[in-house]
Amino acid sequence: MIIDAEAPGSSGVLTTQVCIIGAGPAGISLALRLAGSGLAVVLVAGGALEAEPRHQALYAGEVADPALHSPTTEYRHRQFGGSSATWGGRAMPFDPIDFEPRSWIEGAEWPIGFDDIAPHYAAAAELAEIGDPEFSAARAIEGGMRPMIDGFGGPHFSQDSIERFSCPTRFGPRYRRRIERSPNITALLNGHATEILTSDGKATGVVVRTLTGQEIRIAAEVTVIAAGGLETPRLLLASRGGEGIGNAHDQVGRNYLCHIAGTMGSVRFDPARTRIWHGYERSWDGVYCRRRLSLRPEIQRENRIGNIVMRLHHPRLPDPAHGRGILSAIYLAKPFISYEYSKRLHGSERPGLSGYLRHAGNVLREPFATAGFLMNWVWRRTLAERKFPSLVVEPRNGVYSLDIHAEQVPNPDSRITLAGERDALGMPRLRVDWRHRPLDFRTVSVALDLLRRDLADQHLGELTYREEEIPDAMLREGAYGGHHIGTARMSVSPRDGVVDGDGRVHGMDNLYIAGSAVFPTSSQANPTLTIIAFALRLADHLGSRLQPAAASIRTEDAA
Ligand SMILES: Cc1cc2nc3c(=O)[nH]c(=O)nc-3n(C[C@H](O)[C@H](O)[C@H](O)COP(=O)(O)OP(=O)(O)OC[C@H]3O[C@@H](n4cnc5c(N)ncnc54)[C@H](O)[C@@H]3O)c2cc1C
């Protein structure tokens, strides 16, 4: 069932067994897993079925350094389906090494191991619609995938690891009917949790307000906050009159991680010795798959650095020296591309009038190739149900750049706090102060050096870059947008984090967190597949903890 919290007369008390705050991939996956359980579930969406500016405005907050972090209204979507409304669908699991204690990375400690989450990836892959949960290029496609760099078998890097791409599945429209038809799930639209009420180590209620003045109290046996990596700490900190929940050791909102990412370097391959394929292949069920270069775990250990992957990439768009009409056309189309995608694609530099003219010249020199590409792009990227994931363009001169996606290591000073100002519902706004550490750049530096050696030793190509360019290249667009990790991290002890290995807030009997806020480390992987896997694991835990009640959801008038 789907109900509207703004409907006249909706104020009152709602009694249920499980209250899930947030209807993004985490909240929806959790609810869907509980659909057949008989447990009464209320899913508070924090927005409408579609994006509405008045709801999105609740995400507005302060950013300590706007050069390092996007505004808090960008890269998040306050609606049913959450940020899956715009995600790119790139999916892969975390690696076993991510869960290992790594003495050289302060704070890299999980209370659980890879084996605890691995069994949930198959069902997560199904919800994310990425086909078989197979991430080896040798096995993902019958006969193996084409090599990215023919003949490459570097001792430091592997090219066997792949990423798979979701449609990308928009969790709102995709799963709305399933939620609507589930007799034990009630999705509450247009309602926003503003406070968790507690007493004696228990969550006793959730205060839900609407922008039209209604107030609903939800009393649940178990409450799960699945409001995204930035809103989850905000809600915890704003509760109990600002005293906070789970914050006895000042851990809520700390260790805010994204990824260290950027495009740099030039790789010139020797055409006599190797062939390059940096495009996609489709699995038997049509899923786009692509290889990456991943740094082997034993090399990470040996060099005492973080996890990292790299992809061969077209030259950077803003510089017209690439000479490709296609790349210039996309650069010139920048005003028509959303902030979130245009930021990484185009960077923030301006090429000036002469630069724009050179871009136009590139387009005019390759009119047919550019027009053909753009038509194909519209067809395969915009109209197709399963969309072509990203721009793949062969560089004219055979020189590729490297697209780097690396683990960011925990840093307690990188944090989310509450700002002085309040939103339209009276909740303190959030303040983001994202910071990085020297090890973040050392990971990139060591990995680039090792890749350079792998390519040179095998006489396949030459990688050139300027070492001193690394921090600027990795910070050019600031913190990687959309990946909000670590702000309510898992830990054995409440001194080191906010939730235990089950996702339960330390010191609270019935309050849990779902989403990347609970990840103590960020891996090299994009987070959403693992967010879903953790939500499914939590659903199983709740299923074993709770008994379906005879009465489902009850409502009472406020009076
Ligand atoms: C442009 C972009 C591209 C991305 N590409 C990728 C990608 O390729 N691969 C990948 O793995 N990830 C990607 N991501 C990240 C991905 O979108 C997130 O990891 C994912 O959406 C997180 O899911 P979530 O359910 O934890 O949070 P969200 O999706 O943020 O959902 C949070 C939910 O909580 C609700 N909510 C918030 N506050 C409240 C409140 N107070 N009360 C009630 N409800 C509330 C919101 O309305 C929403 O329904 C991308 C993100 C962006 C923005």
Q: What residue ranges do the domains of the chain occupy?
A: 2-130+170-257+412-433+484-557
pLDDT at 558: 53
Sign of CA dihedral 446, 448, 449, 455: positive
- Tell whether ligand 1 has an atom less than 6 A from the beta carbon of residue 19: no
Question: How does the average pLDDT of the chain come out, rounded?
Answer: 94
Q: Could you tell me the distance, in angstroms and rounded to a whole number, from the CA of residue 228 to the centre of ligand 1?
A: 6
- Tell whether ligand 1 has an atom less than 6 A from the beta carbon of residue 246: no
Ligand 1 atom closest to the CA of 76, numbered from 1: 53
- Tell whether ligand 1 has an atom less than 6 A from the beta carbon of residue 227: yes
- Tell whether ligand 1 has an atom less than 6 A from the beta carbon of residue 226: yes
Q: Could you tell me the distance, in angstroms and rounded to a whole number, from the CA of residue 484 to the centre of ligand 1?
A: 9
DSSP bridge pairs for 399? 268
**What value, to the nearest 5°, has the Cα angle with vertex 88 and ends 344 and 393?**
60
Write down the residue that tokens 């740094």 correspond to.
295
Ligand 1 atom closest to the CA of 228, numbered from 1: 27
pLDDT at 548: 86
pLDDT at 395: 81
- Tell whether ligand 1 has an atom less than 6 A from the beta carbon of residue 306: no
Q: Could you tell me the distance, in angstroms and rounded to a whole number, from the CA of residue 83 to the centre of ligand 1?
A: 4
- Tell whether ligand 1 has an atom less than 6 A from the beta carbon of residue 389: no
User: Which ranges of the chain have pLDDT less than 70?
Assistant: 344-349, 550-554, 557-559
> How far is it, in rounded angstroms, from Cα 394 to Cα 374?
15
Residue 82 C-alpha from the chain's centroid: 11
- Measured by CA distance, the residue closest to atom 50 of ligand 1 is 87
Strand 461-464 with 259-269, pairing? antiparallel
- Tell whether ligand 1 has an atom less than 6 A from the beta carbon of residue 44: yes
- Tell whether ligand 1 has an atom less than 6 A from the beta carbon of residue 193: yes
The residue whose CB lies within 8 Å of the most ligand 1 atoms, and thus the one to mutate among 44, 190, 528, 530, is: 528
- For the CA atoms of the chain, what is the radius of gyration? 24
pLDDT at 347: 65
- Measured by CA distance, the residue closest to atom 25 of ligand 1 is 24
Q: Could you tell me the distance, in angstroms and rounded to a whole number, from the CA of residue 88 to the centre of ligand 1?
A: 12
- Tell whether ligand 1 has an atom less than 6 A from the beta carbon of residue 85: no
pLDDT at 33: 98
pLDDT at 554: 66
Residue 285 main-chain phi, psi, to 5 deg:
-100, 20
What's the length of the chain?
Answer: 559
Q: Which two tokens stand for residue 502?
A: 């089950």
CB-based contact 256:437 (threshold 8 Å)? no
- Measured by CA distance, the residue closest to atom 4 of ligand 1 is 87
CB atoms < 10 A from the CB of 8, how many? 8
- CA–CA distance from 79 to each of 7, 171, 376, 523 (Å)? 17, 11, 31, 27
Q: Could you tell me the distance, in angstroms and rounded to a whole number, from the CA of residue 84 to the centre of ligand 1?
A: 6
The residue whose CB lies within 8 Å of the most ligand 1 atoms, and thus the one to mutate among 20, 58, 83, is: 83
Ligand 1 atom closest to the CA of 531, numbered from 1: 26
- Tell whether ligand 1 has an atom less than 6 A from the beta carbon of residue 209: no
Write down the residue that tokens 């050392």 correspond to.
442
Q: At what angle do helices 367-377 and 352-365 cross, to 10 degrees?
A: 90
Q: Could you tell me the distance, in angstroms and rounded to a whole number, from the CA of residue 70 to the centre of ligand 1?
A: 15
Domain spanning 2-130+170-257+412-433+484-557, CATH class: alpha beta
- Tell whether ligand 1 has an atom less than 6 A from the beta carbon of residue 26: yes
Ligand 1 atom closest to the CA of 90, numbered from 1: 8
pLDDT tens digits for 419-472? 999 999 999 999 999 999 999 999 999 999 999 999 999 999 999 999 999 999
In the chain, DSSP finds a helix count (H) and a strand count (E) of 16, 22
> How far is it, in rounded angstroms, from Cα 164 to Cα 129?
10
CB atoms < 10 A from the CB of 104, how many? 13
- Tell whether ligand 1 has an atom less than 6 A from the beta carbon of residue 239: no
Spell out the residues 6+ positions from residue 477 whose beta carbon is closer than 8 angstroms to its own: 261, 262, 343, 344, 347, 348
